[in-house]
Structure 1
Amino acid sequence: MRHILNLPFEIYLRIVLSMIAGIIMGSERTIYNKPAGIRTFSLVSLGSTLIMLLSVYGAERLGIKAEVDPFRVAAQIVSGIGFIGAGVIWNSKNGVKRGITTAAELWVVSAIGMALGVGMYDLVVLVMVCIFMVMRIGHIMGKYTRNKVKREHAPEQMK
């Protein structure tokens, strides 16, 4: 089944799901007013999906019969995302400590985009659930430790 751009429906599905995954992943960062949010996460996911699609289907679409390893491109995506992640950390105003989680999430959302590019939908769902669990537990633990530190350092009359 082909559509407007003469592409199979599954290619459209992968692109749209990649955008949705980026929006979902970036929304958590946007809610907490972090340096990268919905737009950044969606673009990283979409870019990774597009590059994987080009790698997997590009030569075939051009009629090239060469033996191509599409997963060599995946390694290049990972390297490129490292530069974006470093920029998120480097530009932080409060020291290197700020931005590391955002950089790590950008790295993972890039992998989500790559997985969508090759059609691994079930893996994407599992990873996104795991990421949300990690982020939620991290927020809960962060509040607990901040509150504990405040209580320990509070003046005696407040204890």
Structure 2
Amino acid sequence: MTDHLEIFYRLLIAMLIGCAIGIDRNLRGKPTGMKTLGLVALGSALVTMAAMNFALDADGYHDAVSRAIQGVITGIGFLGAGVIIHEQSSEKVRGLTTAASIWVTAAVGIVCGVGWWRVALMATALILLLFTVGRRVEHFLHRQWMRKSDVERADISSREED
């Protein structure tokens, strides 16, 4: 017998985690956001739970859950690939963080579907920490690199004048 309230909580938590991850993407003007990543996590949890026949634990469903997880991860790769853009003029690749956020949101949804709340919440905290701290570290390193490049260019320029 399934506990519909437990199923609802698993789906709700997955969706809210996806929304939290998506808010960061929304605030940065990225092509995915709160609704998209909320749906990714919700769908991943739903598929995982369906593979478990909506039982509250995976006992006896390991093969089915494994196949469902493989299908979600493979399918989500196509969604992630859709946000990666290679700009030929500048030789820059954009959208990798957004694609990775889609992938990791699916993984957190799977974890919610299995019912591992603590793991899902720990992963969410780490994801949001990485978005916040990682952005600052990247900006700092970029500024340092640009200063170093400016000094090297000035040094090369002064040597050419000699």
TM-score range, shorter chain: 0.7 to 0.9
TM-score (norm 1): 0.79
Q: Tell me which residue corresponds to 1:144.
A: 140
Residues 67 and 147 of structure 1: is their aligned pair in 2 closer, same or farther, counting only changes over 3 Å?
Answer: closer
Q: Tell me which residue corresponds to 1:14.
A: 10
Local SS of the residue matching 1:57: coil
Q: Tell me which residue corresponds to 1:69.
A: 64
User: Which runs of no fewer than 5 residues in structure 2 stay unpaired?
Assistant: 56-60, 155-162
CA deviations over 1:72-112 (Å, ceiling 9, x no partner): 11101000011111111148797662101111111010011
- After superposing the two structures, state which structure 1 stretch, 87-96 or 48-57, moved more: 87-96
Opposite residue 110 of structure 2, the aligned amino acid is M
Q: C-alpha separation between the residues in 2 aligned to 1:10 and 1:22?
A: 18
Q: C-alpha separation between the residues in 1 aligned to 2:146 and 2:135?
A: 16
Pick the structure with greater CA Rg. Answer: 2
- After superposing the two structures, state which structure 1 stretch, 88-97 or 49-58, moved more: 88-97
1:85 to 80, 83, 91: 80
Q: Tell me which residue corresponds to 1:102.
A: 98
User: Which runs of no fewer than 5 residues in structure 1 stay unpaired?
Assistant: 61-65
- How big is the shift at 1:141? 1.4
Residues 16 and 76 of structure 1: is their aligned pair in 2 closer, same or farther, counting only changes over 3 Å?
Answer: same
Q: C-alpha separation between the residues in 1 aligned to 2:15 and 2:128?
A: 17
Q: C-alpha separation between the residues in 2 aligned to 1:52 and 1:10?
A: 14
Moved over 6 A (4+): 91-94
1:41 to 25, 37, 40: 37
- How big is the shift at 1:8? 1.9
Opposite residue 126 of structure 2, the aligned amino acid is C
Residues 40 and 144 of structure 1: is their aligned pair in 2 closer, same or farther, counting only changes over 3 Å?
Answer: same
- How big is the shift at 1:70? 2.1
How many residues in Structure 1 have an aligned counterpart in Structure 2? 146
- How big is the shift at 1:150? 4.9
